[in-house]
């Protein structure tokens, strides 16, 4: 009998030792010391024994039950602790990870936005403010106030998108250049005026270097005794800063715009080598902008006395500058919203251009 009990104890203890979770352990407990468990059944046999037998078996069975109970509780504690450790490990939060890591890492600033930020930083450093106006313009601001005579071919020159005539006969246009904001600024501000006007512009045109919507930045300076020397210096400083080069060669070619007199188109010196343009050196020329001294009629239309004040203005194609500086070959891709293109040509959102921190570093 006691040999059987010894084997039973051995078996139970090793089952308890090997129980790998709390459910298995509970099953063993019920089977061993539950109400109908093996040991409880054995206890019940005590009643049928002689007093002598009971005196001997009682303590043996009680001792056995005690040891099994204790082994069960020891094992239970170990399993509980193991389960807790597994859970702690699984639910661990690494607070050292940067929050919202991905948007900063994945997002890109479009080259057009980048170039606008660069231009703003350069002119901001020279004391220029930023102005803007509506994309949908009246014929007056887009043409008439800028000294385009009625029926003048220059109006056609712009490949204008005209909107349907309104009931009162007025016909709005998608602005063909940022120059209308010259007038809007003169109407609002007193000289001295120093502003740049970056924004969207529209012309009915589409090929590798033209899209129906494109971007320009207008520059306008008005004050007493403003002359072409100021214009030339400003554009030279701008080109050096923008292309991040120490010296630049500019060529001013006589041209025509109704709103400037005299008018000049400006070319920048460059070389074309292995299909790549290098700005600032070499014997080739690349046209980059239109400019001139503000026409007296335009000053008058803006409410400024041309006998007292003079000014200069210029207009640059932003997309073209972006293509030149960052080597993108096809303008149409700028507006395809292709994420792979953005990954390649875009800029990291926290690399904000500034004159002290660097423009495109």
Residues that bind ligand PHE (CB under 6 A): 177, 179, 218, 257, 260, 290-292, 313-315
CB of 313 to ligand PHE, least distance (A): 4
Residues 292 and 3: their CA atoms lie apart, in Å, by 116
Residues 194 and 235: their CA atoms lie apart, in Å, by 14
Q: Which is nearer to ligand PHE, 160 or 353 (CB)?
A: 160
Residues 23 and 211: their CA atoms lie apart, in Å, by 72
Residues 293 and 271: their CA atoms lie apart, in Å, by 29
Residues 154 and 156: their CA atoms lie apart, in Å, by 5
CB of 284 to ligand PHE, least distance (A): 22
Which residue number is nearest to ligand PHE in terms of Cβ?
A: 315
Asked if 260 and 293 touch (Cβ cutoff 8 Å), the reply is yes
CB of 212 to ligand PHE, least distance (A): 15
CB of 146 to ligand PHE, least distance (A): 8
CB of 361 to ligand PHE, least distance (A): 30
The burial class, CB within 10 Å (0-12 / 13-18 / 19+), for 134 is middle
Q: Which is nearer to ligand PHE, 315 or 353 (CB)?
A: 315
What are the DSSP calls for 105-173, one per residue?
HH--B-HHHHHHHHHHHHHHHTT-EE----SEE-HHHHTGGGTPPTT-HHHHHT---BPPP-TTS---E
Asked if 174 and 205 touch (Cβ cutoff 8 Å), the reply is no
Q: Which is nearer to ligand PHE, 118 or 218 (CB)?
A: 218
CB of 257 to ligand PHE, least distance (A): 4
Q: Which is nearer to ligand PHE, 244 or 287 (CB)?
A: 287
Q: Which is nearer to ligand PHE, 259 or 334 (CB)?
A: 259
Residues 126 and 251: their CA atoms lie apart, in Å, by 22
Q: Which is nearer to ligand PHE, 202 or 347 (CB)?
A: 202
């Amino acid at each position: 009998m006691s040999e059987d009990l010894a084997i039973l104890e051995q078996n139970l203890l090793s089952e308890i030792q090997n129980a790998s979770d709390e459910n298995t352990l509970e099953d063993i407990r019920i089977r061993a010391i539950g109400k109908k468990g093996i040991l409880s059944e054995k206890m019940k046999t005590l009643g049928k024994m002689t007093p002598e037998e009971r005196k001997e078996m009682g303590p043996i069975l009680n001792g056995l039950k005690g040891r099994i109970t204790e082994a069960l509780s020891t094992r239970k504690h170990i399993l509980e602790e193991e389960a807790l450790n597994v859970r702690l490990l699984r639910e661990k939060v690494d607070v050292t990870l940067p929050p919202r890591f991905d948007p900063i890492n994945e997002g890109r600033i479009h080259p057009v936005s980048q170039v606008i930020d660069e231009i703003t930083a350069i002119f901001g450093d020279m004391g220029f403010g930023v102005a803007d106006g509506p994309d949908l313009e009246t014929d007056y601001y887009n043409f008439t106030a800028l000294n385009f005579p009625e029926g003048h071919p220059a109006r056609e020159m712009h490949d204008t998108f005209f909107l349907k005539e309104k009931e009162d006969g007025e016909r709005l246009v998608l602005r063909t250049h940022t120059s209308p904001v010259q007038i809007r600024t003169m109407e609002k501000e007193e000289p001295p005026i120093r502003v740049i006007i970056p924004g969207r512009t529209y012309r009915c045109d589409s090929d590798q270097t033209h899209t129906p919507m494109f971007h320009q930045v207008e520059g306008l300076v008005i004050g007493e005794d403003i002359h072409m020397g100021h214009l030339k210096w400003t554009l030279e400083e701008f080109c050096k800063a923008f292309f991040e080069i120490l010296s630049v060669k500019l060529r001013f070619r006589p041209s025509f715009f109704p709103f400037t007199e005299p008018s000049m188109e400006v070319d920048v010196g460059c070389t074309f080598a292995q299909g790549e343009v290098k700005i600032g050196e070499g014997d080739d020329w690349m046209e980059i902008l239109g400019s001139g001294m503000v026409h007296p009629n335009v000053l008058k239309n803006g409410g400024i006395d041309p006998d007292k004040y003079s000014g200069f203005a210029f207009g640059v194609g932003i997309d073209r500058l972006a293509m030149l500086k960052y080597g993108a070959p096809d303008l149409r891709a700028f507006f395809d919203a292709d994420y792979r293109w953005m990954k390649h040509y875009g800029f990291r959102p926290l690399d904000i251009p500034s004159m002290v921190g660097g423009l495109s570093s």
